[in-house]
Amino acid sequence: MSKHLPEKSFGTAPVFFTAISTILGAILFLRFGMAVGNLGFYGALGIIILGHMITVPTALAISEIATNTRVEGGGEYFIISRSFGLNIGATIGIALYLSQAISVAFYIIAFTEAFAPLFQWFANSFSIVLPRQTISVPALIILAFIVLKKGSDMGVKTLYAVVAILFISLVMFFLGQTDYNSAGDFSQNFVLSNRGQFFIWFAICFPAFTGMTAGVGLSGDLKNPKKSIPRGTMWGTIAGMLIYIFIIYKFSISASPDTMTSSQLSMANIAVFGAIIIPLGLGASTVSSAIGSVLVAPRTLQALANDRSFPGLKINRWIAKGKGEKKEPYNATLITICIAMVFVLMGEVDFVAQIISMFFMITYGSLCLISFLNHFGASPSYRPTFRSHWLVSLTGFLLSVWVMFMINPTYTIAAYLIITLLYIYLSSLHKDRGGLQKLFLGALFQLSRRIQLYMQKNRSRRPEEVEWRPSAICISSNSFSHSKIFDLMKWISYKHGFGTYFHFLKGYYSKSSTAEAKEIVARLIEHHHDDESSLYVDCMISPSYTTAIAQAIQSPSISGMDNNMIVFESRRNEPEAIESILDNISLTRAGDYDVCVFSDANMNTNFKNGIHIWIRPIDSMNANLMILLGFIILSHPDWRKGHVKIFSICPKDEVAKTRNDLREMMQSGRLPVTLSNIEIIAQDDDTSVKSLIKEKSFGAGLTIIGFREEQIKRIGSEVFDDFDEHGDILFVSAGTEQVIE
């Protein structure tokens, strides 16, 4: 079997030379002199620093992910797809491939500028203005022939020769002296100018720095990608950054702004034998960059096809088809050349440069985001041997997005819209693929963990300063016969609080009971979860209802809050259920829990008739909790047509005082209702409270009534009796008095 596998012969050197030769490419020779002339030394330095604040985090992210993931053919695409999942990997991979394919055209277009003296000679001698395509089109065809015929080996061998020429041309540039340099009056070049054009020049110059990932595209041909990619990429990035800083300094002390802006090849005016060596260096740099791009882009496309990223099995097979022992991407190279030819025929350096910048920004931002999420999610399977800091990755991601908007907000929005639509299409094409949710779930887990730990550390210091929110628990064995309790728990936990519903499974913890519990939870989630639900469901296995309650009230809430309320439920006229509730209310008092008993009338809720709250003199402890619960429940969308009405029962001689107290609460904002929502009832000695409730709240959607533990001890279940034809009732007993702010 092994004899059929392609031999991987490349080490770190090809990665480094591919990166550095692409970094020190066309933009260096054609546009950095103009950038210094327009923006000054500090403006050009700003471009270098900002550019590397994006590319260095990306290089670190690539180095990190490459030492954690088995890297195969496809370079950056492989890293993204195996980290983010194949669908989003293919989405970003297509954008990456297009940027690489267009880069081939960009470097060929720039290559023609090396023949500027020839074009000028034809114009002066024969009055013939030759189009740039007379050079660029044949150059692209020759390049295509070399790569298609000889493959990556020929490309890399050519690369070494080109890098040597590039090195010589840069040495000659740094050795060059000018009259401007000798005069020593170059202070004007060290003044930041034309600030409004900064991001225009940044977009034009940024492709100069994107070459640092060029060597990653050779991943499928490397002996040891985990070693070669980090070293080659980082060495190329750092070396390129330092060389660029020296270059703009050399420009600043060697030429006037007018000289630098008047000619694309202003380097020729500075270098020793500049008229010959700089066009030669430009030709060498553009050829090397074009070779790097034309080697990398088809491999990205081939990897995309291997992952069936395109519609149709035959199309994917044809694109992925390799030639020879090394499976050279022959068909993918043909497609790349065709795309490059389209942009070569357009022939505009600055326009193509800005397109490339936008595509690369998306790719780099994605790589930095992957690194950040892997750091933040702290997955046990993420163990790279090379590590950067999560803050560096986050900075790279945020800067890439910000810079895109600064360059062109319209194009940025359009680019992300296209990426989103492409992702939706690929997700519909390959519904079985995933991966993105895994990263985000890890990040959400870490965020939740840290928030819960923070809340635990801080909530006990000054509990009186913590605003009350309901964190309710309900335990019931009637999950599949009493559905109304789920509605109540959703109302309580919606937006303002948190709710946990436990299905009570009577028995002992065992393998069979655990399997049954998991099945029950799955059914509960399927039946009762929706987009607006904040209710967490689980199953409690316990030998008795009492032990289940004891377990639940001692367990921490997953919300990070302390549980502070327990909700019991029963259908109307179920005496055995009421007796079970009565037996366990005193148990909850050990933890000062608020207790609610929900009496389910087993009829549809009449939401438009609202929530009625009944407050009696004995409800001094319960009143505020009842009012808070009323307004919390009313905030749920189910109650959007409802209202809260408060009935305050008091002795005849305290009507005026009760009205004044309520008015003071309304004026201070502690009671968010008006007097029209409050009815004060002077109780006669001959009229019972239950008869008043039946009379006033017979058709209410939900009635909230207070009770005290002393009543339970004195009259037992009679507290909840005599409401046979009434709607749903929530009986409330506060563990501690709540404050309405």
User: Would you list the DSSP string of 371-411?
Assistant: HHHHHHHT-TT---SS---HHHHHHHHHHHHHHHHHH-HHH
> Alpha carbon 83 to chain centroid distance?
13
Q: CA 614, CA 700: separation in Å to the nearest integer?
A: 12
Q: Collect the ranges in the chain with pLDDT lower than 70.
A: 1-10, 66-76, 83-84, 150-159, 181-186, 213-222, 225-226, 326, 347, 376-383, 385, 432-467, 529-533, 559-560, 666-673, 685, 739-741
pLDDT of residue 4: 45
DSSP state of 707: -
d(CA 155, CA 298): 13
115 contact partners, CB below 8 Å, separation of at least 6: 135, 279
Q: Where do the domains of the chain lie, and which CATH numbers do they carry?
A: 11-311+318-348 (1.20.1740.10), 468-572 (3.40.50), 601-741 (3.40.50.620)
> Which residue in the block uniquely carries the two structure tokens 């954008």?
95
DSSP state of 173: H
The structure tokens listed for 503 are 């299905």
Tell me the two tokens of residue 362: 């998306």
How far is the C-alpha of 390 from the C-alpha of 399, rounded, in Å?
Answer: 14
Per DSSP bridges, beta strands 702-706 and 565-571 are unpaired
User: Mutual orientation of helices 133-175 and 86-112 as an angle, nearest 10°?
Assistant: 80
Q: Per DSSP, what are the bridge partners of residue 348?
A: none
Closest CA to 443 of 396, 401, 397, 390: 390
Element holding 126 (H helix, E strand): helix 116-126
- Give the whole-angstrom CA distance, residue 313 versus residue 305: 9
Q: Can you read off the two tokens belonging to residue 500?
A: 């946990």
**In the chain, what is the straight-line distance between the N-terminal and C-terminal CA atoms, in Å?**
76
Cα gap 76→360, rounded to integer Å:
11
**Which of 549, 548, 560, 567 has its CA nearest to residue 473?**
567
What does the pLDDT read at residue 232? 82
CB 721 within 8 A of CB 620: no
Closest CA to 598 of 568, 639, 626: 568
Residue 645, classed as helix, strand or coil, is strand
Q: Exposed, middle or buried: residue 101 (CB in 10 Å: 0-12, 13-18, 19+)?
A: buried
The token duo for 484 is 């109304």
The encoded tokens of residue 402 equal 């910000």
Pick from 304, 140, 153: which is nearest to 218 by CA? 153
Please say whether the beta carbons of 611 and 702 come within 8 A.
yes
Cβ atoms of 623 and 732 within 8 Å: the answer is no
Helix (H, G, I), strand (E, B) or coil at 212: helix
Exposed e or buried b per residue across 290-310, where buried means at least 16 C-beta atoms within 10 angstroms of its C-beta: bbbbbbbbbbbbbbbbbbbbb
Q: What angle do CA 124, 130, 136 make, to 5 degrees?
A: 135
The token pair at 114 is: 């090396």
Please, where are the H alpha helices in 494-572? 511-528, 545-554
The answer to whether 15 and 214 have CB atoms below 8 angstroms apart is no
Q: Which among 306, 330, 157, 166 has a CA at the least distance from the CA of 243?
A: 166
Q: Cα–Cα distance between 29 and 40 in angstroms, integer?
A: 17
Please state, in angstroms and rounded to a whole number, the distance separating the CA atoms of residues 87 and 81.
7
Nearest Cα neighbor of 735 from 546, 588, 580, 551 is 588
3-state secondary structure 79-115: HHHHHHCHHHHHHHHHHHHHHHHHHHHHHHHHHHHHH
> What CA–CA distances, in Å, run from 28 to 20, 45, 234, 245?
12, 13, 20, 11
Give me the count of residues in the chain: 741
The answer to whether residues 341 and 137 touch, using CB atoms and an 8 Å cutoff, is: yes
Element counts in the chain: helices (H) and strands (E): 26, 10
Q: What CA–CA distance (Å, rounded) separates 25 from 166?
A: 9
DSSP assignment, residue 549?
H
Whole-number pLDDT of residue 280: 86
Cα-to-chain-centroid distance, residue 593: 39
Entry pTM: 0.61
CA dihedral 306→310→315→321, nearest 10 degrees, is: -20
